[in-house]
Structure 1
Amino acid sequence: MNLLENIKEALNSVKVNLLRTILTGTIIAIGITSLVGMLTAIDGIKSQIEESFSGLGANNFDIKSKVGGTMVQEGKSEKIFPLVKYKEALAFQSEFRNSGVSTVFSTVSGAVEVKRGSKKTNPNVRVTGVDDFYFNIKGIKIEKGRNFSNTEVTYGNNVCIVGIDVVETLFGKDENPLNDYISFYGKRYTIVGILEKQGSVGGDSGPDRAIFIPVENASRLDSNGTFRYTITASGTDPLKLEYEMGQATGVMRKIRKDRIGEEDSFEIAKSRSIGESLEQVAGYLRIGGFTIGFITLLGAAIGLMNIMMVSVTERTREIGIRKALGATPLRIRQQFLIEAIVICILGGILGVFLGIGIGNIVANAIGPGGFLIPWLWILVAFIICVIVGLASGYFPAYKASKLDPIESLRYE
């Protein structure tokens, strides 16, 4: 009995015992459905979110003051570099304009009390000086009103854009905050825009509890010259980001008058994009999904092994006849292993189709999107099916190959 005949015999056995094959294959299919379904849903949801936030931070990089002055060996400290000044940031923005768009901003304070008549906020409002490019580059939407005009940014007018928490604290439901006034730092500012609600993460309300003023206006509050100005530049192409960062480094070194051979007196680094943060979260979800699917498959493998053991007992006389006709223990083992692998693959095919369908249904129920076919997880699923078939079928096959042919022929 050669290998080809053994495969034919195993397939015939699977066909003859159709009910057993269906029930066993269903056990495997449930495990594969669990694995492929969860991973497909995770990838589908991630793809939809990435499409919704495409480009936010994907090709951005930040230029900011270099932190130094920490102690090192022999009691010496690192060189302390001067802060990036407002005029230097504006000079960079002007020169970089041919390569891409950039925004200059600085945090004025994170503990400001804002007043409107007799009402006032807690002293925890963050005030930031920005220009008219800031909201577009940072992906922050203005729900009502408008962005700063170029004139307001250039001349530093007393206008502001506020978060929803500030509006809810200082204004009633029937009041319109636009073109009304609020006061902080002893100055009166006109509200020209209200930001879309962002929600809070880790107790920080972010833009919801923030006020944005023109960066020129903010620079006038920097009486001691201690504000840290940051430049976020948006490149034209993510594939050319390293090249554009190199260009930006050259421009900034020229503005800062860094000598040849000296290290940069500023920091330049890629902005942490939403895509990178999302990929990290999706990675953890995949690990969790794979673990749950693996545990389900482990239960399926034990069920398959149990059914194959029963099959060996039921077919004891058949094994005895095959051995009497000259079948070697190797051929007996091959037949049962092939049966187990075929059952697993059939169950795997069903599980893959069910998993893709369920995964895409879940992903599209959360948010409308396309149909995702996870080829990587399909390949992983079939590899797992073969491994499960080998693991589940080996012990029953080994037991069958060790049966005594005479005792097997006597078995009823």
Structure 2
Amino acid sequence: MNLIENIREAIKSVKVNLLRTILTGAIIAIGISSLVGMLTAIDGIKAQIAESFAGLGANSFDIRNKGQSGGRVVQEGKTEKTYPNISYREAMQFKEEYNSIGISTVFIPVSGIAELKRGSKQTDPNTRVRGGDENYLSIKAVKLEKGRNFSQMEVRYGTAVAIIGQEIQKTLFEPSEDPINQKITVYGRPYTVIGIMEKQGGVGQDQGADRQVLIPVENASRLDTRGTFNYRITGVASDPGKLDYEMGQAIGIMRKVRQDRVAQEDSFELTKSQSVAESLEEVAGYLRIGGFGIGFITLLGASIGLMNIMLVSVTERTREIGVRKALGATPLRIRQQFLIEAIVICVIGGIFGMILGIGIGNIIANFIGPGGFLVPWLWMFVSFIICIVVGLLAGYIPAFKASQLDPIESLRYE
């Protein structure tokens, strides 16, 4: 019964000293909002990046020749078996059989030093020519600014059409010209421009993504005069949860296509793009640790402020404490009252801090990139526990000081 009475007295004291409660709660609210806000923003940004990576193939896998570029595989200083490159026929056969499971794309980097021409204009000999199919743009998350994608018929019959990057458009065409349905020359062969890729940018001075031209993979295979092209395949799982299962099926299909014997090792490599997402999670973990550390330091400052205000409160209420002790209140009950008061102030400030932190965190995350509204239930629970702990730590010293006051001296205090 005494505990319930103490709770009532603590709440009553909070109501009576409303301005002090608001100011003290504001200190805690700022600390909690910085903690929750930073962690919410990090989770929100991570969710947006993860969604972007999903479009870039975070739930996909790549199949390429063993050793990446064909030839001999060297392990532990020993030269092992030579594996033939994945041919165009093998890649397309895999794609056809894998269609019953999910979608895939077959592509080939033809050259990185090509020169494109249009009339008297020409590009520098640093243009990238790549062969791809109708699924390449969607699986590789490349968007078109203008025009259209390859049709299945154009890919099947190797029609002389091309999708060009922004830098090529600026080099070969005037700003007022529409490149769509215009002719350009690649390796001395005329191609009709059917699409313009959106600006992709690059790292440092490397703007290669904007100076590339994409042609149908069947058409690109005709440029392989020496039979050295090494085709690559990217498959996408029908469901992220089935990625490992469908990778196993892809291995079985590719072994059949490559005619690998039962006891023979795979003559190709299969890598999971999920490693990108795993790296993202690792980086997000470090960011959370940093955000938690900065928020905790802010909250530590808030707890010191709360302790200072509670110490002032003890001094102001010395006579009240003396009256309580004279009426039979034990040091334990006095400590309880001040601890409960500190916890109540922390919880009130913490609730406002959580609401403010969630709002700030989502605003920051959406400012960086549009996304949904994130409610971090885990961080809300953690911050609520932190509020109680901060109240206990910040209120204990003032509560202990109050419980040790001499009742006679307290009654004399003015």
Calculate the TM-score normalised by the size of structure 2.
Answer: 0.87
Corresponding residue number in structure 2 for 1:377: 379
Please, which runs of 5 or more residues in structure 1 have no aligned partner? Answer: none
Distance 2:62 2:52 in 1: 23
What is the number of residues matched between the two proteins?
410
1:113 aligns with 2:115: yes
Corresponding residue number in structure 1 for 2:25: 25
Q: Alpha-carbon deviation of 1:18? A: 2.0
Q: Please give the residue correspondences for 1:111-260 in structure 2 after superposition, counting only pairs within 5 Å.
A: 111-260=113-262
Which amino acid in structure 2 is aligned with residue 345 of structure 1?
V
Distance 2:135 2:110 in 1: 18
Distance 2:50 2:87 in 1: 35
Corresponding residue number in structure 1 for 2:64: 64
Q: Which deviates more, 350-359 or 278-287?
A: 278-287
Distance 2:114 2:379 in 1: 51
Q: Alpha-carbon deviation of 1:126? A: 1.5
Tell whether the 8 Å contact from 2:127 to 2:208 is kept in structure 1 after alignment: no
Distance 2:282 2:181 in 1: 42
Q: Alpha-carbon deviation of 1:392? A: 1.2
SS at match of 2:336: helix
Which amino acid in structure 2 is aligned with residue 380 of structure 1?
V
SS at match of 1:122: coil
Which amino acid in structure 1 is aligned with residue 184 of structure 2?
I
Q: Alpha-carbon deviation of 1:367? A: 6.3
Corresponding residue number in structure 2 for 1:270: 272
Indicate which of 96, 99, 115 corresponds to 1:97: 99
Tell whether the 8 Å contact from 1:198 to 1:206 is kept in structure 2 after alignment: no
Distance 1:193 1:141 in 2: 10
Distance 2:345 2:228 in 1: 72
Which amino acid in structure 2 is aligned with residue 252 of structure 1?
M
SS at match of 2:167: helix
Which amino acid in structure 2 is aligned with residue 310 of structure 1?
V
Distance 1:367 1:209 in 2: 26
Are residues 71 and 326 of structure 1, via their aligned partners in 2, closer, same or farther at CA, if it must alter by over 3 Å?
same
Q: Alpha-carbon deviation of 1:360? A: 4.2
Q: Alpha-carbon deviation of 1:276? A: 6.2
Q: Which deviates more, 250-259 or 354-363?
A: 354-363
Distance 1:288 1:120 in 2: 50
Q: Alpha-carbon deviation of 1:325? A: 4.2
Q: Alpha-carbon deviation of 1:308? A: 0.9
Distance 1:40 1:158 in 2: 50
Distance 1:351 1:37 in 2: 9
Q: Alpha-carbon deviation of 1:187? A: 3.1
Which amino acid in structure 2 is aligned with residue 22 of structure 1?
I
Q: Alpha-carbon deviation of 1:382? A: 0.8
Which amino acid in structure 2 is aligned with residue 15 of structure 1?
K
Distance 2:39 2:33 in 1: 10
Distance 1:144 1:277 in 2: 34
Which amino acid in structure 2 is aligned with residue 314 of structure 1?
E
SS at match of 2:106: strand
Corresponding residue number in structure 2 for 1:295: 297
Are residues 206 and 284 of structure 1, via their aligned partners in 2, closer, same or farther at CA, if it must alter by over 3 Å?
farther
After superposition, the C-alpha distances for 1:274-319 in whole angstroms (9 at most, x for unaligned) are: 8667656655554454344323222211111110111122222333
SS at match of 2:73: coil
Percent identity of equivalent pairs:
69
Are residues 202 and 277 of structure 1, via their aligned partners in 2, closer, same or farther at CA, if it must alter by over 3 Å?
farther
Tell whether the 8 Å contact from 1:195 to 1:207 is kept in structure 2 after alignment: no
Are residues 19 and 46 of structure 1, via their aligned partners in 2, closer, same or farther at CA, if it must alter by over 3 Å?
same
SS at match of 2:74: coil
Calculate the TM-score normalised by the size of structure 1.
Answer: 0.87
Tell whether the 8 Å contact from 1:84 to 1:228 is kept in structure 2 after alignment: yes
SS at match of 2:214: strand
Which amino acid in structure 1 is aligned with residue 273 of structure 2?
S
Q: Alpha-carbon deviation of 1:94? A: 1.8
Tell whether the 8 Å contact from 2:362 to 2:374 is kept in structure 1 after alignment: yes
Report the aligned-residue RMSD.
Answer: 2.9
After superposition, the C-alpha distances for 1:151-185 in whole angstroms (9 at most, x for unaligned) are: 33233333221101111112111222223233343
Are residues 153 and 357 of structure 1, via their aligned partners in 2, closer, same or farther at CA, if it must alter by over 3 Å?
closer
SS at match of 1:57: helix
Corresponding residue number in structure 1 for 2:338: 336
Q: Which deviates more, 305-314 or 352-361?
A: 352-361
Are residues 108 and 400 of structure 1, via their aligned partners in 2, closer, same or farther at CA, if it must alter by over 3 Å?
same
Indicate which of 383, 403, 409 corresponds to 1:401: 403
